[in-house]
Structure 1
């Protein structure tokens, strides 16, 4: 009896241990602290790490904790690039060469100057090369300022996979901003990085990302924004396409949105969202037979695909399919496309109807 109880207890303990997820590897915290110590965008890194921990799943892919190792590699790459720039000076480089060895095989396609609020010239340099893994193409921009000794040293910078555009100096309501914009293609993880001049020449990062926390309740159901939006800091507005569902296609299909923001301290807050859904616009002029086709497709898609053991229920389903003409939907869709071949707006509506499952 004792042997049986002991075996059962051992099995229970083994099952419990197997069911528990492995904790976050301690090396993640070490890599994060190192990255935080060298970053010029620590505020963004803090929020990013918080979100990563909140959604942490050590079994998300591959072996347990593979996702931790991936995060460690990301953080170490940031630290490597940040340290390379922090220790660089303009005198270390020749014209046309990259300032600091942040990127491997780095080239600088373009550079220039802008003036800060104090009238001091700042130099900037676009960079292109490989990220520290030696395989992934990377891009960056570095802005340098003059120290009291007259030597030009890096002030702020950003590196990653996203392509960058030249820095911009923006003024609004007496506040002065330095914008490091990204080249937005709506699917890459690229966001504009914004700093504000405060306390003289000091630059501090503006929170241009947390407004998304309130976004879901401001959009119509089923519509999503791209992961990154180009914000006009002078007007505090943005115009962006919308996707249906998760936005996993190359072509926006959900219309567009206009966003308006307000600045509360050092944080952008979403003030207004105006959505222009092309399907709603079409509702005024779309032919009734197209709406009828949409309703039939929707109702037919909701019917069970297999027969059940309930005879009476099967009869109801069969009668409904006949009334909706479910078996002729494909032919009816083709017929509508022929009828409205000269109406691109209606053809787009039909395509959206047929895509929406």
Structure 2
């Protein structure tokens, strides 16, 4: 296993992604002798595929005619082009759709650069882990020493729509001009920055040029499809070949509502729930009946309907308040 993994890492343009994949296999994969053999075979095939990928050549004119043939069968290209910087590098790109034996229908991308002859393109990075990829974009400003990064946004299959993005640093290495950086461990720092009771369940939407992202927020009892916790905006920096989370601003839907909804509306909702609770209790003896009467009197339950109607009239133009009153009345 060690030799097969090292060979695959050496050949791979995305070795950090391969490390993550291997860690997941160790955690969840088939550890039987048969499963281990299958994993070794998969790594060996990956290494051979990627070694062949480095040797491929094409031209800008041919990018639109068909896929750069690295990993997908029944492959077709959906878009392509180039990204360039003034007085800086130009990278050509091709987005692909097709089929792999391990993942079925999926997508991929290839980044290419011109060779010295000015007409030949050679692949310098690619990946096929995601279901679909988007157009590459420069990530952030040039750092110290003119460091340049390029990001390829991507999405994994499934309802989670988790990030399959890949980010590279441009290097002076003639053979491997793109070095993958860590753009995934930042999520380990995310929970500590979120307001209590709020979580991020899916992938986030990056704006790489600004090194920012936005995401919906989920509460624990939300459905996967329907977050109700508001939204968050994330700020990043690239440090030591790692995308680092540096700031988070959460627009908590509950807090926002509490700030703008009048206190008397929440007080009425509490009264209504109290009245509904005690009105449904049974006064099975004198002491219990007296306790029920006291609770109903303290909550002024005889006036709760009239007070609710007064609030509806006072806030007739505020849909959020009307929704709260309606939900409290239906409980």
Are residues 1:153 and 2:128 paired?
no
Residue 130 of structure 1, CA deviation: 1.3
For residues 129 and 238 of structure 1, do their structure 2 counterparts lie closer, same or farther at Cα, with a shift above 3 Å needed?
same
Deviations 1:151-199 (A, max 9, x none): 4221011213431111123433433111111259982232321111123
- Gaps in structure 2 of 5+ consecutive residues: 276-283, 300-308
For residues 205 and 319 of structure 1, do their structure 2 counterparts lie closer, same or farther at Cα, with a shift above 3 Å needed?
farther
Residue number in structure 1 paired with 2:194:
219
Residue number in structure 2 paired with 1:46:
19
Partner-residue secondary structure (3-state), 1:224: coil
Kept after mapping to 2: 8 A contact 1:137/1:161:
no
Residue 295 of structure 1, CA deviation: 5.4
Partner-residue secondary structure (3-state), 1:153: strand
Kept after mapping to 1: 8 A contact 2:7/2:44:
no
Residue number in structure 2 paired with 1:182:
154
Deviations 1:11-62 (A, max 9, x none): xxxxxxxxxxxxxxx6xx67644542332111233245346545x487xxxx
Partner-residue secondary structure (3-state), 1:243: coil
Are residues 1:286 and 2:264 paired?
no
For residues 345 and 57 of structure 1, do their structure 2 counterparts lie closer, same or farther at Cα, with a shift above 3 Å needed?
farther
Residue number in structure 1 paired with 2:132:
163
Kept after mapping to 2: 8 A contact 1:112/1:124:
yes
Q: Map residues 1-357 of structure 1 onto 2, 5 A cutoff.
A: 32-50=5-23, 53=26, 56=28, 72=39, 76=43, 79=46, 82=50, 85-90=53-58, 95-115=64-84, 119=88, 121-133=90-102, 136-148=104-116, 151-170=120-139, 171-173=141-143, 174-182=146-154, 187-199=160-172, 202-245=177-220, 249-286=224-261, 291=266, 343-346=318-321
Once residues 353 and 67 of structure 1 are traced to their aligned partners in structure 2, the CA distance between those partners, rounded to angstroms, is 58
Residue 81 of structure 1, CA deviation: 5.7
Partner-residue secondary structure (3-state), 2:66: coil
Kept after mapping to 1: 8 A contact 2:137/2:208:
no
Kept after mapping to 2: 8 A contact 1:258/1:275:
yes
For residues 33 and 89 of structure 1, do their structure 2 counterparts lie closer, same or farther at Cα, with a shift above 3 Å needed?
same
Partner-residue secondary structure (3-state), 2:245: strand
Q: Which TM-score applies when normalising by structure 2?
A: 0.69
For residues 298 and 233 of structure 1, do their structure 2 counterparts lie closer, same or farther at Cα, with a shift above 3 Å needed?
farther
Partner-residue secondary structure (3-state), 2:254: helix
Residue number in structure 2 paired with 1:8:
none
Residue 246 of structure 1, CA deviation: 7.9
C-alpha RMSD of the superposition: 4.9
Once residues 8 and 221 of structure 2 are traced to their aligned partners in structure 1, the CA distance between those partners, rounded to angstroms, is 31
Kept after mapping to 1: 8 A contact 2:162/2:204:
no
Deviations 1:95-116 (A, max 9, x none): 5211114112111121112336
Q: Which TM-score applies when normalising by structure 1?
A: 0.65
Q: Count the aligned residue pairs.
A: 302
Residue 297 of structure 1, CA deviation: 10
Deviations 1:298-344 (A, max 9, x none): 999xxxxxxxxxx99xx79x969x8699xxxxxxxxx9xx9889644
Residue number in structure 2 paired with 1:21:
none
Kept after mapping to 1: 8 A contact 2:213/2:235:
yes
Name the structure, 1 or 2, with higher relative contact order (CA <8 Å, separation 6+).
2
Partner-residue secondary structure (3-state), 1:276: strand
Residue 142 of structure 1, CA deviation: 0.5
Residue number in structure 1 paired with 2:302:
none
Once residues 75 and 326 of structure 2 are traced to their aligned partners in structure 1, the CA distance between those partners, rounded to angstroms, is 45
